[in-house]
Amino acid sequence: MSLKIKVYNQAAEPVKDLALEPKIFAVEPNLELLHQALVTQTANSRQVLAHTKDRSEVSGGGRKPWKQKGTGRARAGSNRSPIWIGGGVTFGPRSERNFKKKINQKMKQKALFMALSDKVKTNSLVVLDNFTIAEFKTKKFNEVLSAIEKKVLESNRRNILVINDKKDEKLKYSGRNLTGVKIINLENINLADLLAHKNLLLTEEAISVLTKRYNK
């Protein structure tokens, strides 16, 4: 099966057709696998910040507050008891918690292919022959995206993921302040970003690198 997509220049004018690898860009979706891969990625990127101290870790508590009998008050052995103000916390969140999950590499790759295939199927993938900005100018970056949105995507609401085939500081800093735009390098392509953005912008070189990397 031949799968082709138009390649545009930065003025959003079609310049040629590009053949896509069906093994990567024409994979049938499996919602269960997509969900499993997404949960795994988000769980593995989760930072464990909440941490409470139990009664052995809070300061104080060396002396018995009052004698065991004869005061009329309830028995107390330490002012660090969980029922005291300033005492330890019982069953609170701990920094030792582990949320890591595992998934097979082939399953992870297939979920990525499904997300890429969905962009092709819904006409949400735009391929540029080259994407470079001569200077650090957000205005220039915005002009390119505006032309693409108007002529190719026909979208009023901006929600686009830009994946560049190489590290480009001018491209990165020119577009990072734009609302609804996220720029990442090809080496950092991931399922969560693909699913979080409606549209995807790739360069022709990025398509070539992806095909060589995964079509083995």
Nearest CA-CA partner of 23 in 124, 104, 106: 106
The whole-number pLDDT of residue 154 equals: 75
* Tens digits of residue pLDDT in 120-176: 999 999 999 988 888 899 999 999 999 998 888 877 778 999 998 888 888 889 988
pLDDT at 1 over 60: no
CB 127 within 8 A of CB 6: yes
CATH level 2 (architecture), domain 3-46+100-214: 3-Layer(aba) Sandwich (3.40)
Q: How far apart are CA 119 and CA 146, in angstroms?
A: 19
| Mean pLDDT (whole number) for 65-88 | 93
> Do strands 125-128 and 199-203 pair parallel, antiparallel, or not at all (unpaired)?
parallel
pLDDT score of 3: 85
Cβ atoms within 10 Å of 1's Cβ, excluding its own? 4
Among candidates 148, 93, 89, which has minimal Cα distance to 124? 148
Per-residue model confidence as pLDDT tens digits over 28-75: 999 999 999 999 999 999 999 999 999 999 998 788 999 999 999 999
Average pLDDT over residues 183-200: 94
For residues 98 and 46, what is the distance between their CA atoms, to the nearest angstrom? 9
Count the neighbouring beta carbons within 10 Å of the beta carbon of residue 147. 16
Question: How many whole angstroms from its chain centre is CA 34?
Answer: 14
pTM for the full model?
0.83
Name the band, by pLDDT with cuts 50, 70 and 90, for residue 215: confident
Q: State CA 149 to chain mean position distance.
A: 23
Q: Please provide residue 28's backbone torsions phi and psi, each rounded to the nearest 5 degrees.
A: -70, 140
Can you count the helices (H) and strands (E) in the chain?
7, 6
Give the distance, in angstroms, between the CA of residue 194 and the centroid of all CA atoms in the same chain.
8
- Domain-wise residue ranges, the chain: 3-46+100-214, 48-98
- Contact criterion met (CB below 8 Å) for 171 and 132: yes
More confident residue, 104 or 134: 104
Give percent above pLDDT 90 in the chain: 75
DSSP helix/strand/coil, 208? helix
Q: What is the pLDDT of residue 100?
A: 94
Query: Two tokens at 183?
Result: 């720029």
Write down the pLDDT at residue 114: 96
Helix axes 204-214, 105-121, angle to 10 degrees: 150
